A and B are shown apart, each in its own frame.
Chain A
Amino acid sequence: MNQEKLDTFIRFLQKVQKQPSQTFDLGLIVKEPKSQVSEEKVFRGIKKIVSIEKVIYDKSLFDEDALEKIIDAFKKGQWVFLEVKKDIGSPLLNQLKHLANYNSFQLIDYQGKDVFEMKMPENSRIIVFAERDFIENKISYPHFYRLFGPVLSSDRLEK
């Protein structure tokens, strides 16, 4: 696997802040249909660079639990590697969009607060990992790619 490409991707996520509000981007890694690079290899590759926690978003995980895991990781100053294996539910999508727009969570009636707001720590980021076919055919939200800044195709990791 091309670790150098992965390093550059992480560097972009760490350093580049969008004008004018100086917000960081969420990252997306897309596994192409014929790609030999496994999700585990990519995860291990990122782990060499930053402290990161894996969250597998599949049928066994409810949105509220996924959010709790992300918030916990952020509290520990970690990055989150969110492997998406089911269509994104409304509560998680709402928070991913809020994170993409404002780098913060905004939850109603959460942890005893009418409006719970939590800023993404400066050293934390979210990287979503999903297969190309899955994104194209199973994700019902039509502007999924727009949630992210840098998008890394697994093809580039093989070169």
Chain B
Amino acid sequence: MNPEKIRFKSLEELKEEKIEVRIKERGPEGEILGGIVFEEEKVIDSESKEEKTKRYIYIGNPYEGRPTITKLETNASQEEIEAIKREIIPMPESFEILEAMAQTYKHHQPLLIEGPTAIGKTYLADKFTELRYGKEVKPLDFYCSGQTDVSELMAKWVPKVETEEEKRKWREFLESAEAQVEISKIAQETEQKEKLSQEQKLALIHTRLQKLAKSVGLSEKTQWRFQYGAVPKAMGLTRNPDGSFSFDEQKGLGFTLHIEEVGLAEPQVINTLLKLRGKKGQLAEEIQLWENGGKKVKSGPKFWAFFSTNPPEEYLARNEVDPALARGVVFKRMKELSEESLHLSADYYFTYKLGGKPEEKPEGCIFDIYNHAEIGREISKVVSAFHNDLNKELKKGEKGRQQRIPLTLDDMARVADALIDVQIRNKKTGQLDLTETLKNLIHFYYLDRLADEELKETMKANLNELLEGDTGKIEFEGKVLARKEFFDILVERASATEEDKKRLEKEKNQEKERNLKQTEFNTEDAISSLLKDSRIPKSIKKKLSSK
């Protein structure tokens, strides 16, 4: 080999390779174990010059051949990271979202994910926050609707009132369209008075607010308090080590803001959100609030805005994401969960891999299904097939219904959890009647909410067919069985006590012996009838009798 071609890998490169191996780690059955990796590193603190241990997480998509791995600092402990990982179903879609979150967070870029209801946008925003701050830390959430007011996002003046009567009058006024127009006019006018100092602008706002109060018959002596909305709050919030939050409009570290369902927001709300666009595709470094005379709020280093929305076809108004907003963010469109991912989720729910299992058999539990993954896997096939079929129907919209009810993974999770302690007993055997229990729970969580009676009846028939008819039939130990028969056998076997198991084993062996004997007798009978047959040549008869 040409020595010039020999290359020694740097320590950095070796470390990268090590991390990549861990990101792509899989278990004995091929299940994903990586995706998120925790590491501690010793670093020299730039201020104190002392050695400190810092915690980091690496996030990458384990399904990718060459995953893009993002390193982020975290406050979470290794135990917390492992616990959070156990709560994430390792679907390709989950890692695609987490990867996008990690990359955009690191580069201080806003992210917008448009995707169907069930793909886990909200859930993963929650988990991503926990991965950086520790268990139970939630992002600052803001949900848009047609009724969202700009002031909830940015800022507003709130009158300080004493009596309930005054409070009622003010609220009535402030909720009126007239008040909202007037108050926004005040902010606009202040914005235009460029020559005034900030104090002068504030004084102007106060005078105008007092005039406004007087014009609608309210006390002009009312004092006003300035209240920040979700956006400036998230920019200047600092999460303290004790879990509390403090706000500083100039020195706050910033926090995660998740703005959900932006597809439902009215144009004035979108216009407000556009203020978050900064230079080079990043988040704005600061925003100016004209409601407060033009005072600026700085965006802290840990501030990150994540927008999410459902695709337009899931909203009746078919709102597309505003093009200006889409241009100002990292925009990611996600498809429906694949059938494989849906099945993987069902498998995780019904084998109870997520969260803890009951330590003792709870009340209402006939059979400890949570300890029998082999049965859970079979249930997951039925429920995910039913879920998938119904979801396809619901996407078309129901007859006579304005509201849309797309299914979510939560529906499956609910059935799995109720299956632990809302069980029906088979009156003949005294054991769990798994088929009836499943039917009952699927009716309760899936079918009872359907308004379209025709669809309800069709889905009921489909479910029966899946459980008791030909559609769900499977081959088991050489026999073709309906799911109900198959479930009965699985439950019977799994419910058996040690004594029962020994008895069953003995019976099975006895049956085997009986069958063997029977075959022997049948063979002997056949040989003897052949020996008696005059048409059979003697030479063959000789051979047969010797056997």
Contact = CB atoms under 8 A, between A and B. Distances in A.
Interface of A: 11-12, 15-22, 25, 62, 64, 87-91, 93-94, 97-98, 101-102, 104, 106, 108-109, 113-115, 117, 132, 135-137, 139-146, 149-153, 156
Given A94-B141, A94-B143, A153-B448, A19 B413 contact: yes
Nearest to A102: B138
B448 A156 contact: yes
Interface stretch (B187-195, B225-233, B522-530): B225-233
Contacts of B421: 15
Contacts of A102: 126, 138
B476 interface: no
B21 to A, nearest CB: 26
B306 interface: no
A18 B140 contact: no
Contacts of B245: 113-115
Contacts of B247: 114
A104 B403 contact: no
Contacts of A17: 417
Nearest to B130: A21
Contacts of A88: 147
A interface secondary structure, majority: mixed
Contacts, number: 140
Given A106-B140, A108-B227, A146-B406, 16 more contacts: A19-B354, A19-B355, A90-B148, A93-B145, A94-B143, A102-B138, A106-B138, A114-B233, A114-B245, A114-B246, A115-B237, A115-B245, A139-B403, A143-B310, A145-B403, A149-B410
A13 to B, nearest CB: 11
Best-buried of B146, B148, B228, B418 by chain A (most CB within 10 Å):
B418
Determine the interface band of chain B, counting residues with CB < 8 A from chain A.
35 or more
Contact of B147 (A21, A87, A109): A87
B408 interface: yes
5 contacts: A12-B444, A20-B88, A109-B233, A149-B410, A153-B448
B215 to A, nearest CB: 22
Contact of B143 (A11, A22, A64, A97): A97
Interface of B: 86-89, 117, 122, 126, 138, 140-143, 145-149, 152, 168, 171, 175, 227-230, 233, 237, 244-247, 260, 264, 310, 314-316, 348-349, 352, 354-356, 362, 364, 401-406, 408, 410, 413-414, 416-418, 421-422, 444-445, 448-449, 451
Nearest to B415: A16
Contacts of B310: 143
A151 B406 CA distance: 15
Contact of B352 (A19, A87, A113, A137): A19
Contacts of A137: 402
A143 B146 contact: no
Q: Which of A114, A115, A142, A153 has the most CB of B within 10 A?
A: A142
A98 to B, nearest CB: 6
B256 to A, nearest CB: 12
Determine which residue in A19, A98, A113 has the highest number of CB atoms from chain B within 10 A of its CB, and name it. Answer: A19
Contacts of A93: 143, 145, 147
B315 A108 contact: no
B142 A142 contact: no
A2 to B, nearest CB: 14
B20 to A, nearest CB: 27
B171 A62 contact: yes
Contact of A151 (B227, B230, B404, B448): B448
Contact of A108 (B146, B233, B316, B416): B233
A18 B89 CA distance: 14
A130 to B, nearest CB: 11
B414 A20 contact: no
Contacts of A87: 147
